[in-house]
Amino acid sequence: MMSFLSRKKIDQTIPVKSIDPDAVSVLHRLNKAGFTAYLVGGGVRDLLLGRTPKDFDIATDANPNQIRRLFRNAFIIGRRFRLALIRFGDKQIETSTFRRSPEPDEIDSADAGTPGALYQGADNAFGTPEEDALRRDFTVNALFYDIASTKIIDYAGGLRDLAKKTLRSIGDPNIRFREDPVRMLRAVRLSARLDFTIHADSAKAIARHSGEIMQASKPRLFEEIGRLFTYSKAEEAFKRLWETGLMADLLPTVADYVAHSGKAKSPLWKYLATLDAAGPQLVVDDRRAPHYVYETSLRFAVLLAPLYLERCKIATAEGKIDAMAIAEALVGDVLVTPFSTPSWRVPRLMCQDIANILDSLSFHLSPNVRRNRYFRQPCFYTE
């Protein structure tokens, strides 16, 4: 194993000063205790691209209980996927044990053959660093940084794809996307965020298996759709969602609108571009209080705004407009009905916020409605 590992160590390195000091201290303590520990995943990728990582994640051969004994500020979360969160004030360093893909006999027989079963089963099967790298989604997310040698460890060709700005699935993408259909949505989001091209084999697999996307966990899908708005890349992310065919399965009402409103020239793209441009100027607060915008609600409202205005214009022409009813029906059609399950639904307050924002747009349609009605909504902050 050591000889194989040495062939995978690359002389390319990362300055330690660019890594979060608390992550560095976790790595050093694990190494000092005799464990192997690497900085892993998106943090390594972003550092190599010259970006500032959002998170610094660590993988180690120490199991969760050993991690907790070593760090008094650690606590264990998860059932299927147990990992340790090591607290430093308001910050947490996610520290997981190297894992491997489960064998067929480790998957619950009741789940066998269903999309996502292989991904969901036996997530606590511990493995080697190589096995852990090769079970990850894309090659650029399978890069490890060894602080002991200050070298990059590349088991999957991630450095090559990073240089080519290519997002490539690890292994056969047809199998990997069936293991976890949400990976298709992650491919769209990550390629848009990094301005990468999805590798041809992965793109073909997405087109082939896009119809299976709604078989994934509805809460996970809804969360991933929300992430498409992040990093001021909403326009590009949703364009790629449309181009790959995933939008037709995830958000068919939105896809229908794009199809009949100009496709690549649909007004939707201008709305999302405006949202991207606003980016940091959005005022966000975690508390439910008047005069603050809920960022997620506003983002979904922008996505639905051109559809809402189109429906309002049709209703106005027919002489039977009820703006709020139209807004609530649209939110239900696009978000509530497709993503609700017996045990989970899109938060009711979020849906109401989205409907309120959409209803406020009706001042465009009626000269008798004063524009400041728009700004009296409790969703918006005004100075």
Catalytic residue numbers, as ranges: 55, 57, 137
Residue 200 pairs in a beta bridge with: none
- Taking alpha carbons only, the member of 95, 59, 58 closest to residue 74 is 95
> What are the b/e assignments for 1-12, b being 16+ CB within 10 Å?
eeeeeeebeeee
C-alpha 269 chain-centroid distance: 20
What phi and psi values does residue 145 have, to the nearest 5 degrees?
A: -115, 125
DSSP 249: H
Q: Are 143 and 44 in contact (CB under 8 A)?
A: yes
Amino acid at 117: A
DSSP 81: S
Who's near 80: CB < 8 A, 6+ residues apart?
120, 123, 124
CA 377/CA 257 separation, integer angstroms: 27
Please report, for residues 8, 12, 38, 97, 143, the alpha-carbon distance to residue 170 in angstroms, rounded to integers and kept in the order given.
16, 21, 20, 20, 12
Furthest-apart CA pair in the chain: how many Å? 77
The helix/strand count (H/E) of the chain reads as: 20, 10
- Say how many Å lie between the first and final Cα of the chain, rounded: 62
**Alpha-carbon Rg for the chain in angstroms:** 23
